[in-house]
Structure 1
Amino acid sequence: MSRGRWAGDLAMGARFAFTGGREGWIRALLTGVGVGLGVALLLLTAAVPSILDTRHQREAARQDYLLSPAKIPAADDTVVVAHTDTVWHDQDVRGRLLQPEGAKAPLPPGIDRFPAVGEMYVSPALADLLKSSGTGLLHERLPGKVVGTIGDSGLIGSHELAYYAGSEHLAPLIGKASVERIDHFGDTSDQGSEPLDPVLLLLVLMVFVVLLTPVAIFVATAVRFGGEQRDRRLAALRLIGCDGGMARRIAAGEALAGSVLGLAFGVGFFLAGAQLAGSIELFGISIFPDYLTPSPVLALLVAVAVPATAVLVTLFSLRRVVIEPLGVVRTSGPGRRRLWWRLLLPLLGLLMLAPMIGKGNSGGNFNPYLVSFGVLALLVGITALLPWVVERVVGRLDGGPVSWQLAVRRLQLSSGTAARMVNGIAVAVAGAIALQMLFSGVDADYTKSTGKDPSRTQMEVDLGSATAPDGIAGKLRETRGVRQAVALSETSFAGRPAGTEDTVQIMVGDCTALRELVKISACRDGDVFVSSAAFADPASRKLMTPGHTVWVDPTYSGGTKGVEARWTLPAELGRAQVRKDALRTDLTGLLVTPSALPAKARPSLSSSVYLLLDPKVPESDATEEVRTAALRAAPLANVWTWQSTQRSTRYDTIRTGLFVGAAAVLALIGASLLVSQLEQLRERKKLLSSLIAFGTRRRTLTLSVLWQTTIPITLGLLLAVVVGLTLGGVLMKMTAVPLRVDWPSVLSMTGFGAAIVLAVTLLSLPALLRLMRPDGLRTE
């Protein structure tokens, strides 16, 4: 057949898509919106590389850490930077104090001049937060008045909380309390990041496949909107002389036109969403609109794949349909669906994944192509199995109230349409169950114990080399929400002022503080104790001989040459048994009360205050009070909240990406299901009007529509659970973790899917009630 004939038939189909009067435009609009929602999400996915790259570039451009151990001398082009990050109600606040040392000092990105002492530039989000009520403690914590805002180039997200403040007297603190001198901002190193381990790479692949598969299915479903009216139109074309092949090509042309309209809608939705993106923050992640620049190659792939998919899906759906001049044979009852070929896709997926079972992190990288196509085959297999399941189940249903019988009869006549409507949600639930099982299985591998006991201490204030830690502890002890505050300091000593030998730890604190570490009975200022854990090392034990001369803060342990403090150990050293619940777990040396240490050694101490909070005060309030009081007492202090476990940053990033992507996919699922439901109701307008005209109650018809949704979604979710558990089990075996089913998560994922369908059904009820009128039988 000539290309001209194909082009002419496709062009005729495209004209039919837009020239069918009001009904034709509504059908085209619904198809365009359905396809457009999917295209918008695909374009968002195509923009992910740009988002990650731009965020990385912004972060690298403002980096103010020294990448080499060499110290930079003060010059006309240097600036001293102090890190003063804090947290406000679980929101990170990035803080920097700046002290320029010359006219050519480098400016950080986002500001056009250095703030003077007592001034600060803040991000727009922080400026808005400071204007809101209830932020008095945050105002007290910040070091100056707001004189300007940080530009987009100095921020990685529109909702980032950050500030730059002017300061002085920072130079003497260089090398202590996160204070450094730099001569430029930005990471100029070309060191590549460490590659992901095999399991994390598998998680990334799974997230993309699981999130994008429902999108592709929704796009394929949307191009089939108006199928029954299209069939009647094709029958009329056959009546005026078109052959079967020409009718199919015209149908493909209609689908092609709808998909092109969907591309236009998708671009519009994407551009509107990009402008909205700047005002949205999900799971602590925010972006700027200009981050959303789809990769040209991926965008081109979407532009080609969507119309091609529309044509192929249409031709595939008509493969067993006989279009005759007086009707379509499919309306007289389809043949029974066969099961054997529908099982091929899931089996093929399992065969692809089987060779990688048991690899984990020790068996090399997983084959990304086998993983992607294997998971895709299993998930797409749901769309092949669900029509067969729905047909078999509804074919055996009988009896019941009128609403039930109406629903069942409708499903028996068009089970394929009902299955298509829930295909996407079933695939999404199956993928979510598999991902949840995989994440729960590997979570322990990326969650490590910190060795800290939050029941002993909830917060720690790291003072660095700040002087008078006991005085700061006293101020914190008076803070609202604090029940106990103890100060502990640490340094080290060795047998010589410089050399290569090992050092021994010194913990310094008053008797109350030391009792939080060890069991001691008699204690007074001036005492020195040997930790029970110190006797495991003979070399260290020798250095701790009473009366022995040692050097505190030796040069080779990080001290500065010439400031080493000579110390003669007391003639009597007490013995102290380490508590099982000690605040520190690394007590391998001496425990010293303050006056026992020589005065020259005190500048070498690194101090922390450990806080036990009052349970009578809400933890969030007490935490903010402590952070504010700590920064008032020691502006360069770091405040930490103790946690018993800590999760890998990369693992957490992937989890966050999953949650953000899942939120976008769920929004698409809800919107697409609503469009699909409205399209089906529109096609049944005359049938509903006929039933109302014959006296059928509105309540009965409404219940029948609810049953028509409930039955297939129940079957779809049951199938999704089976496939999801199967896929999740295989993935857990691949990552070499024990097979365990997290039933609460499985039930929550299933319930969430059902809730989306229920919400969509309820939202479609107003349209249903408008359609249930006798005047719907009127025709023009």
Structure 2
Amino acid sequence: MNVRQWARDLAMGMRFAFGGGREGWVRAGLTAVGVGLGVALLLLTTALPNALSQRSDRGNARQDFTYSGKQLAKADNTLVIADSDTTFRDKDVRGRMVEPEGTEAPLPPGVAKFPAPGEMVVSPALEKLLKSDSGKLLRERLPYRVTGTITQAGLIGPAELAYYAGGKDLKQLQSGSNIERINYFGPSPNTQPDELDPILLLLILIVFVVLLLPVAVFIAAAVRFGGERRDRRLAALRLVGADGRMARRIAGGEALAGALLGLVFGTGFFLIGRQLASLLEVRDISLYPSDLNPSPALALLVAVAVPAAAVLVTLLALRGVVIEPLGVVRKAKPPRRRLWWRLLMPLAGLAMLYPMIGQGNTNGNFNQYLVTGGTVLLLVGITALLPWVVEATVARLNSGSVSWQLAVRRLQLSSGTAARMVNGIAVAVAGAIALQMLFAGVEGDYTKETGNDVNRAQMEVSVGSGVPLAEVGRRLARTEGVRRTSAISQASVGERAKNPNNELEVSVGSCAELREVGSLPSCRDGDIFRIVRGSYDAETKKLATAGNTVYFDPAWDGSSSTSTPTPWKVPAGLKTAQPREDPTGYARGGLLITSGALPANAAHVLDQHVFVSLDPSVADASDQVRNTAARMNPLADVFMLTSTRQSLQFKSIRTGLFVGAGCVLLLIGASLLVSQLEQLRERKKLLSALVAFGTRRRTLSLSVLWQTAIPIGLGLVLATAVGMTLGAVLLKMTDTSVRIDWSSVLAMSGIGAGVVLGVTVLSLPPLLRMMRPDGLRTE
């Protein structure tokens, strides 16, 4: 191979691309736009690992609960911090109350100075929300004056809702483990990184393959825009002395020029999208523009691989084309495509995946090379099978309306071009169907039943010990949107005032409220019940005996509690009750004490818990409850009761899939539109001639629709079959029973068809402009 000759021919092709007048520039521009869209998405993909790493680093840098088990003494460099997280209309709000205990107390990342009591510093997104009309309810919950803004260093994303409020005497607010004294911000030394199990790693790998493969298919199709006109130019080159190999190398140079221009366009598209990233939020995930920095090595790989692929694809496409000085022998009827070799790729893909069937979570990680190679071969097999399917189908289509016959005849002459346009969306739909089947199949393994009875209560509120139980229940019961409340106080008693060996759970409330957590034979104020066969039955028999002295809220070594244990002698006449699950599904044991039987000096150590039933007709009922709880105690814990709980890792992977799928769908639509416009441009004179001979515009418009609909329909059928096959194999690999999620299959196919329909509608205005007799004019 003569490198100098190759370089000279490629350079000549590049000069033809940019020096061929308006025609050359239009073709190069269309190629550049198609390639540029793909390059932009590839650059985005290479930037995602860094973006997620930056988010994680900022999240780790602001960690404030060490969970070390050691209690720090008050010092000049300590800070008391309290967790005051809340939720507003299904959006999480990260909240902290801070009280510096000295001049060297650590500042939270992104905060210039500590807010004073009654003040707070907020994230830009929270400040915007609080100033808006929709933030009225949240303003009531956060009655602090805004005095500053949290910078990027203290936020994981620009759309995050977060604040730091100044506190006073926080150690006096008893709210479980929500308060801690710290002397630094950062990850706990005892924190171990979460490790993904093999199935979650498999999900991530398949997501990347499925999202990136359509991009490669689109880039390969984009570099072949304007193929028919290019071939006529190559015939002219043969006429002036170029041989066939030289002509192909020149064609490769033209494709190289479009690909290089596409790299420039793609970089521009990426930079524009990067600046707009802060305005977008997908499933509570937002990114700063500075986070989206592609890895230099991966960016260099894209810069080298795309032009090289453009040249390679062009040379491969021209292998079966005989370029003669007087024309291109492509206009003759091409030979029938053969099927046997087209089946090799999907069969090879299945063979690579077969050894891992039944592996599940018990046999270590899946072989990433076999998984990637097998999935790629199976999906790329669509691009090999689809031209044969389209050709074999349209060869049997004849009779019909004029628009139908025009479309069918065009497809019979250029079925390969039609299949290329559909390949990308077919690969994307097949991959999406397989992923949806896999997600639906393994979802049950990462979704657990909570045991919550959401028919009895939808929220649980823990207010702490600062407000009397009766007052807590009364305030919440009067809250707008609350149907019913059940307020119960909780505490623990031990056989010793300090470091007891045995503890007993105590629940306090009215008879009606105690019946929510125990089956009582009869009850009146002043009764005390002992639960048998409960969770703490052994301790109940030991401690809940008449005459025994027990201590409310016993002290423990290393505890930060300042309260004094309260002694109490168990009275005679205990009644027996049976355990009953509360709305959270917990069947408690120990003692049930009516309010009238509780020692007066023990009331201050009780934590108030309230089960709340909401009125579904009130839109903001849950936020009204949170506001009421915050007025009683700013550190009150409020939980929504749900019947199921899903793994955070699984949810994060699914969120990443939705984000990536949205980007790929945008690419699909934009690339199909560019491809459609390029095909219409090549047929401009033909359309003008048909109109000049009296063909109705409606007929031509319908013919263009049929030309798109027929290959798309065939592509979606093939994609559905391949996607369901891949999904079934992946489910077998995860040792999960195969179940076809028909709703997902139909949804993915419908989305693909909807994208094509939208592209067709957008291409109608330029089509109508081209259908004019004056389009026959030429120079």
The 5 Å alignment of 1:9-88 reads: 9-88=9-88
- The residue number in structure 2 matching 1:694 is 693
After superposition, where does 1:539-558 map in structure 2 within 5 Å? 540-555=540-555
Question: How far apart are residue 191 of structure 1 and its match?
Answer: 5.1
AA aligned opposite 1:307: P
Q: CA shift at 1:200, angstroms?
A: 0.4
In the alignment, is the contact (CA less than 8 A) between 1:721 and 1:746 conserved in 2?
A: yes
SS in 2 for 1:134: helix
Q: Residues 169-194 of structure 1, C-alpha deviation per residue, up to 9 Å, x if partnerless?
A: 11333773511111122226485512
Match of 2:327 in 1: 327
In the TM superposition, residue 83 of structure 1 has moved relative to its aligned partner by: 1.5
Cα gap change, 1:234/1:666 in structure 2, threshold over 3 Å: closer, same or farther? same
Q: Are positions 1:641 and 2:643 aligned together?
A: no
Per-residue displacement from partner, 1:189-234 (whole Å, max 9, x unpaired)?
4855122100000010011011111111111111111111111111
Deviation at 1:534, TM superposition (A): 2.6
Deviation for aligned residue 1:467: 3.6
CA, structure 1 residues 255+411, in 2 after alignment: closer, same or farther (shift >3 Å)?
Answer: same
Counterparts of 1:504 and 1:124, CA distance in 2 = 47
Further displaced range: 749-758 or 153-162 = 153-162
Q: Give how far 1:600 is off.
A: 4.5
Change beyond 3 A, Cα 1:638–1:536: closer
Q: Structure 1 residues 475 and 192, CA, compared in 2 at 3 Å: closer, same or farther? A: closer
- Whole-angstrom CA distance in 1 between matches of 2:513 and 2:660: 48
Task: List aligned pairs for 1:587-666, cutoff 5 A.
Answer: 587-615=588-616, 617-618=617-618, 620-666=619-665
CA shift for structure 1 position 575:
1.9
Deviations 1:26-47 (A, max 9, x none): 1111100100000000000000
C-alpha displacement of 1:581: 6.4
The aligned runs of 1:25-174 (5 Å cut-off) are 25-173=25-173
- CA positional deviation for 1:532: 4.0
Q: Which blocks of at least 5 consecutive residues in structure 2 are unaligned?
A: none
Change (3 A) 1:558 1:534: farther
Partners of 2:457 and 2:583 within 8 A in 1:
no
Listed one character per residue, the Cα deviations across residues 240-283 of structure 1 (whole Å, up to 9, x for unaligned) are 11111101111111111111111100100000000000111111
- Do 1:434 and 1:724's aligned partners in 2 also have CA atoms closer than 8 Å? yes
Could you tell me whether the CA contact under 8 Å between 1:498 and 1:554 is conserved in 2? yes
- How high is the sequence identity, in percent, across the aligned residues? 61
- More off after superposition, 507-516 vs 304-313: 507-516
2-structure distance, mates of 1:286, 1:732: 32
Taking structure 1 as reference, are residues 535 and 128 closer, same or farther at Cα in structure 2, changes over 3 Å only?
closer
Take 1:62 and 1:289, find their aligned partners in 2: how far apart are those partners?
Answer: 20
Q: Does 1:222 align with 2:219?
A: no
Cα distance in structure 1, aligned partners of 2:762 and 2:562: 75
Higher mean displacement: 262-271 or 530-539: 530-539
For 2:660 and 2:604, how far apart are their aligned partners in 1?
50
Q: Does structure 2 retain, via aligned residues, the 8 Å contact 1:35–1:219?
A: yes
- Structure 1 equivalent of residue 231 of structure 2: 231
Aligned AA (1:220): A
* Higher deviation after alignment, 487-496 or 764-773: 487-496
Task: Give the SS at the match of 1:463.
Answer: strand
Who is 2:733 aligned against? 734
- The verdict on how the C-alpha distance between 1:442 and 1:473 changes in structure 2, with shifts beyond 3 A counting, is same
Q: Partners of 1:43 and 1:575 in 2: how far apart?
A: 69
Q: For structure 1, which segment, 229-238 or 518-527, has the greater mean C-alpha deviation from structure 2 after superposition?
A: 518-527
Q: Distance in 1 between matches of 2:168 and 2:538?
A: 47
Alpha carbons 1:177, 1:465 under 8 Å: kept: no
The one-letter code of the counterpart of 2:706 is W
Q: CA deviation at 1:686?
A: 1.0
State the secondary structure of the residue aligned to 2:486. Answer: strand
Deviation by residue 1:672-723 (Cα, 9 ceiling, x = unmatched): 1111111111111111111111111100000000000000000000000000
Question: Structure 1 residue 556: deviation in Å?
Answer: 5.4
Structure 2 Cα separation of the partners of residues 107 and 677 of structure 1: 57
2:213 match: secondary structure: helix
Which stretch shifts more, 757-766 or 59-68? 59-68
- CA distance in 1 between counterparts of 2:120 and 2:344 reads 65
Compared CA separation, residues 283 and 536, structure 1 to 2 (3 A)? closer
Aligned partners of 2:466 and 2:433: how far apart in 1? Answer: 51
Match of 1:201 in 2: 201
How much does 1:582 deviate? Answer: 5.1
* 1:363 Cα deviation from its structure 2 partner: 1.8
Q: Which amino acid aligns with 2:569?
A: T
Post-superposition offset of 1:430: 0.5
Secondary structure of 2:31's aligned partner:
helix
Match of 2:392 in 1: 392
Residues 562, 235 of structure 1: alpha-carbon distance in 2 compared, 3 angstrom cutoff: closer
- 557 and 540 in structure 1: CA distance in 2 versus 1, 3 angstrom threshold: farther
User: 1:532 & 1:254 partners in 2: Cα distance?
Assistant: 85
- Closer, same or farther in 2 for the Cα pair 1:678/1:127, shift >3 Å? same
CA–CA separation in structure 2 for the residues paired with 1:20 and 1:591: 91
Q: Secondary structure at the match of 2:676?
A: helix
Aligned equivalents of 1:602 and 1:558: distance in 2?
Answer: 24
> Are the equivalent residues in 2 in contact too, given 1:503–1:557 (CA < 8 A)?
no
Counterpart residue number, 1:721: 720
Structure-1 separation of matches of 2:699 and 2:51:
51
Structure 1's 241 and 351: CA in aligned 2 closer, same or farther, altered over 3 A? same
Superimposed CA distance per residue, residues 291-346 of structure 1 (whole angstroms, 9 cap, x where no aligned partner): 00001111111111111111111111111111111111122121111111111110
CA distance in 2, matches of 1:419, 1:393: 12
**Gaps (5+ residues) in structure 1?**
none
Alignment partner, residue 257 of structure 1? 257
1:540 Cα offset (Å): 3.8
What amino acid maps onto 1:591 in structure 2?
L
Any conservation in 2 of the 1:255–1:311 contact (CA below 8 Å)?
yes
Which residue is equivalent to 1:667? Answer: 666
Give 1:148 shift.
2.1
Q: Report if aligned partners of 1:517, 1:584 keep a CA contact under 8 Å in 2.
A: no
Q: Report the CA distance shift for 1:35/1:562 in structure 2 as closer, same or farther (over 3 A).
A: closer
Spell out the pairing of 1:313-352 with structure 2 (5 A cutoff).
313-352=313-352
Q: TM-score, normalised by structure 1?
A: 0.97
Give the alignment's Cα RMSD to 1 decimal: 1.9
Query: Helix, strand or coil: the match of 1:590?
Result: strand
Work out the CA distance in 2 between the residues paired with 1:265 and 1:138. 44
Distance 1:423 1:73, change over 3 A: same
State the SS of the aligned residue for 1:73.
coil
* Aligned partner letter, 1:303: A
Shift, 1:94, TM fit: 1.2
Q: Is the 8 A contact 2:157 2:285 kept in 1?
A: yes
Q: Which moved more, 1:587-596 or 1:181-190?
A: 181-190
AA aligned to 1:522 is: S
Structure 2 equivalent of residue 754 of structure 1: 753
Q: How far does residue 143 in structure 1 lie from its aligned partner after superposition? A: 3.1
One-letter amino acid matched to 2:575: G
Per the normalisation by structure 2, the TM-score is 0.97
1:721-775 Cα distance to aligned partner (Å, 9 max, x none): 0001000000111111111111111111101100000000000000100111111
Q: How far apart, CA to CA, are the structure 2 residues paired with 1:470 and 1:327?
A: 95
1:437 counterpart residue number? 437
Within 2, Cα distance between the matches of 1:174 and 1:545? 30
Which amino acid is the alignment partner of residue 628 of structure 2? A
CA 1:745–1:535 in structure 2 vs 1: closer, same or farther (change >3 Å)?
closer
Q: Which has the larger displacement, 513-522 or 690-699?
A: 513-522
Match of 2:370 in 1: 370
**Structure 2 equivalent of residue 771 of structure 1:** 770
Superimposed CA distance per residue, residues 595-642 of structure 1 (whole angstroms, 9 cap, x where no aligned partner)? 434345444433311111124x32x31111111111112111021111
